[in-house]
Amino acid sequence: MGLFTCLGIFAAGMQEDVRYIRCLEKEVAGITRGNLMKHVTVKGKDELAQLAYGLDQMRLELLKKEQTEQEMRLAQERLALGMSHDLRTPLTGLMTYLEIIKKQESEGRASKEYIGKALDKVQQIRRLTDQTFEYFLVHSQREVIMEDAEEIKSALGDYLSEMCALLECDGFQIDADKLKWKPVQVQVNTDYLGRIVNNIISNLKKYGDRTRKVEIKMIYAPCQVGIFIKNAIASDSKYIKGTGLGVKNITLMMAQMNGKAEVRMSNKKYCMILYFPVFR
């Protein structure tokens, strides 16, 4: 009698396991069809429950990946729409100025004023296309090769000196009295760092107030060091909040160097802080 009781309990347990396996089979089939919203049933603490837990974690990873890809697609669509809008304005201006130049040429008088304005629009278009190329370069998933760790002055000093020199040549005054170097080490990618500095210089030349000094200083914290750059927005700069592609590129490149960029732009001020982790 006891033997039959044991066999009955064993058979009941087997049937329960078979029902659970069939349940998991249906849920896995749903995952393979793309249904990632339904949870995988986890019952008990045995090997089957561990398998079910692993399947549910896999489902969550696939769901996260799908959501990330969807967000990237939406971001790229917004970027494409924003870029088409940003390009349309200088293109319209360029076409207008070329029509005026063409008309003036037929009348035997070509105006240097409109030739200069047309060249300015060409430069705007070139900057936008360069920034677009830069954006997709950063998103290309290529490996970011970091330089060996070195002291902050050696890693960043030449780039900041070049920035100051170029801005001074363009009519800016520099306030670098608080630019103090401490013996902390950082790692950078020189290609990205050069592109970041070029973007900052371009933004300052485009929007900066040449009657106000550009403030540059270092910010030190236990785990990070920051480059602080601040200037006012010129009243005649016609600051327009567009796609902000240059700022996005800076943010992306800093993230790929394990740092971050804090950007504050409005119709009154331009401020950016580039944070690099301290290498230990």
Number of other CB atoms surrounding residue 118 within 10 Å? 18
Percent of the chain with pLDDT over 70: 72
Q: Does residue 241 sit in the same domain as residue 209?
A: yes
Separation of alpha carbons 170 and 177, rounded Å: 20
Q: Does residue 235 sit in the same domain as residue 160?
A: yes
Q: Is 197 in contact with 162 (CB distance < 8 Å)?
A: yes
Q: Does residue 251 sit in the same domain as residue 177?
A: yes
Q: Does residue 118 sit in the same domain as residue 171?
A: no
Separation of alpha carbons 122 and 106, rounded Å: 23
Q: Which of 113, 257, 55, 276 is nearest to 186 (CA)?
A: 276
Separation of alpha carbons 208 and 211, rounded Å: 9
The predicted structure's pLDDT at residue 74 = 72
- Counting the structural domains of the chain, the total is 3
- Residue 145 domain-assigned (yes or no): no
- Residue 73 domain-assigned (yes or no): no
Question: Rounded mean pLDDT of 201-228?
Answer: 88
Q: Is 239 in contact with 233 (CB distance < 8 Å)?
A: yes
Q: Choose between 75 and 166: higher pLDDT.
A: 166
The predicted structure's pLDDT at residue 225 = 92
- Residue 144 domain-assigned (yes or no): no
Q: Choose between 26 and 93: higher pLDDT.
A: 93
Q: Choose between 50 and 164: higher pLDDT.
A: 164
The predicted structure's pLDDT at residue 141 = 60
Domain of 125, in residue numbers: 79-138
- Residue 36 domain-assigned (yes or no): yes
The predicted structure's pLDDT at residue 4 = 40
The predicted structure's pLDDT at residue 85 = 64
Residue positions counted in the chain? 280
Q: Does residue 211 sit in the same domain as residue 105?
A: no
Q: Does residue 48 sit in the same domain as residue 113?
A: no
The predicted structure's pLDDT at residue 138 = 67
pLDDT in tens, 125-149: 877 777 777 677 666 666 777 888 8
Four-CA torsion 198, 203, 209, 215, nearest 10 degrees: -50
Number of other CB atoms surrounding residue 1 within 10 Å? 5
- Residue 231 domain-assigned (yes or no): yes
Separation of alpha carbons 2 and 135, rounded Å: 74
Q: Considering the entire predicted model, what is its pTM?
A: 0.60
pLDDT in tens, 176-212: 888 889 998 998 888 888 888 888 888 888 888 888 8
Q: Which of 230, 251, 232, 259 is nearest to 156 (CA)?
A: 259
β-strands 260-265, 269-277 pairing? antiparallel
- 3-state helix, strand and coil shares in percent for the chain, rounded to the nearest 5: 60, 15, 25
The predicted structure's pLDDT at residue 274 = 93
Q: Does residue 176 sit in the same domain as residue 98?
A: no
Angle, CA 37 vertex, CA 36 and CA 41 arms, to 5°: 90
Question: Rounded mean pLDDT of 212-227?
Answer: 90
- Residue 26 domain-assigned (yes or no): yes
Q: Residue 36 — pLDDT band, cuts 50, 70, 90?
A: low
Q: Does residue 113 sit in the same domain as residue 221?
A: no
Q: Does residue 235 sit in the same domain as residue 158?
A: yes
Q: Residue 228 — pLDDT band, cuts 50, 70, 90?
A: very high
Q: Which of 271, 168, 267 is nearest to 215 (CA)?
A: 271
Q: Does residue 199 sit in the same domain as residue 268?
A: yes
The predicted structure's pLDDT at residue 140 = 64
Helix, strand or coil for residue 35?
A: coil
pLDDT in tens, 78-128: 666 666 666 777 788 788 878 888 888 777 776 788 788 888 888 778 777
The predicted structure's pLDDT at residue 10 = 42
- Residue 143 domain-assigned (yes or no): no
Write the CATH number for 193.
Answer: 3.30.565.10
Amino acid at 188: V
Find the range with the poorest average confidence among 2-16, 74-88, 105-119, 213-227. 2-16
Write the CATH number for 45.
Answer: 1.10.8
Q: Which of 209, 214, 200, 207 is nearest to 159 (CA)?
A: 200
Q: Does residue 244 sit in the same domain as residue 269?
A: yes
Separation of alpha carbons 37 and 44, rounded Å: 22
Helix, strand or coil for residue 150?
A: strand
